[in-house]
Structure 1
Amino acid sequence: MSETQTRRLPGRKAQAARNDGLILDAARTVFLADPGAPIAAVAERAGVGISALYRRYPSKEVLLRTLCHEGLRRFNTEADAALEDSDGWRGFVGFLQRVVAADVHSLTVKLAGTFTPSDEMWPDVRHSGEAVSELVGRAHSAGKLRPDFTAQDVGLVLESCAAIATPDPVRTAELRARMLAVLVDGMSVEGDLPGPPPAEGEFAFRWQR
């Protein structure tokens, strides 16, 4: 929920919404550093009481699931925005740049397999797959994307960028943007890629506990 939307809520609801934002921001920081951290560490970082956290998230698993679902929704928002671009290549590259800048895939890498996905997540999972396939297809149609690059390769690109981390967040963002630029250049040149592309669902095992 945005700050503007929060300000429109009545007092208690506005405070609850602010606390929720603080908790999710804190959880992202805590669990990216240590997926095994206790939920109390999230409450401490967020500056809220543990009882307030448990009223919103009754277990660590619920918090982790919510955190990853928020990342998935952000991914889909960026994919949908890219589909509005009439230039298939520009839309595809812009999508990759925004998702890397938002650091969506660090959560995927760190938290996969630490919770059981809920049925509520699957429509968004399906939507993400459909949107990425459409973006890749448009980039191919634009004549800019190498023909042997598949929708499943997108995950490899994003996770490769997410794997780059330094103690300095600004420098991390710079290096990830640099690596993405190198990868994008490789996507748009002729030549054969070694080995077959990832199969659809090949990495689904990570979400099984």
Structure 2
Amino acid sequence: MHVQDTHWSSAAAVAHGGAAVSAAVGGGRPDGARTTPLRVDAQRNLEHVLRAAREVFGELGYGAPMEDVARRARVGVGTVYRRFPSKDVLVRRIAEEETARLTEQARTALGQEDEPWSALSRFLRTSVASGAGRLLPPQVLRVGVAEEGSSGSAGPAGTAEEARVPQQRSQAQAGVGPGELRLVAEERSVLIGVADDPGVAALLDVVGQLVERARAAGQLRTDVSVADVLLVIATAAPSLPDAAQQAAASARLLDILLEGLRSRGA
């Protein structure tokens, strides 16, 4: 797994505080998107940069330099900076796009699969195949370990209530049994900035629904959390030179991880 939070923490500040600079060089949008149509060559360069950024950050993490992105896109680094005035802005753009893609994949699985385990496994297989999980915002993958005897006490992000994703909160308030929500009481996921990021909140909500359905059906281990599921899709098999071997290794790794998530009685 190569997800890193280098160059991420200041992204929000850049996206807001640097809006004036972005407007000057990016056509009025802090995320590098323009409000007026691009020339054909400029649009092509933008697509090359975004594709290259997804590949480079997916392989090396968000710590990879902008020069690597420019090299992969076969454009000058100045071209990259004309569209994205800082690396933070580019990182945020990629993470937002990949978060939206994962959310849509989760919604599709939830809506098209009646059987809970099939829905969850479909989401995992689709997401792993797309590679989007390796580009998730780092804050959704920060998982700590609760100290012994402290389940229900405040964690590094605040209280256990604050660590719950929206779906888990609503179910807890509706009186879902303690067995189904043991993960909520004990999980120490540090979901920094979720309240301010509707895209991340939407992803956590729909994946939470997949997790709760599978757990309620007795098909998922009771200690598996939403963060665990996201960690699975963010985990990649070692890079292999042969594409067929790479695909086989990824499939095999996912089979093993899925087996680890499944309830022993399922």
Paired position in structure 2 for 1:180: 254
- From 97, 100, 107, the counterpart of 2:125: 97
Quote the offset at 1:187 in angstroms: 2.5
2:95 paired residue number: 68
Amino acid at match of 1:188: R
Identity in percent: 37
3-state SS in 1 of match to 2:220: coil
- Return the alpha-carbon distance in structure 2 between the equivalents of residues 87 and 14 of structure 1: 46
Q: Which amino acid in structure 1 is aligned with residue 42 of structure 2?
A: A
Aligned to 1:136: 211
Check 1:35–1:83 CA distance in 2 against 1; reply closer, same or farther (3 A cut).
Answer: closer
1:162: which partner in 2? Answer: 236
Aligned partner of 1:30 among 36, 56, 61: 56
Q: Does 1:80 align with 2:155?
A: no
User: Whole-Å Cα distance in 2 between the matches of residues 119 and 188 of structure 1?
Assistant: 28
Q: CA deviation at 1:70?
A: 1.7
What secondary structure sits across from 1:149 in the alignment? coil
Report deviation, 1:152: 2.7
After superposition, the CA RMSD in angstroms is 3.0
The whole-number CA distance in structure 2 between the counterparts of 1:130 and 1:57 is 30
Q: Which runs of 5+ in 1 are unaligned?
A: 1-9, 192-209
- The question of whether the paired residues in 2 share the 8 Å contact of 1:23 and 1:42 is answered with yes
The structure whose residues are more often helix, as a share, is 1
Change in 2 beyond 3 A, CA 1:45/1:36: same
- Aligned equivalent of 1:59: 86
How does 1:144-155 map onto structure 2 within 5 Å?
144-155=219-230
Query: Deviation of residue 13 (structure 1)?
Result: 4.5
Change (3 A) 1:142 1:17: farther
Runs of 4+ displaced beyond 6 Å: 117-121
Distance 1:120 1:179, change over 3 A: same
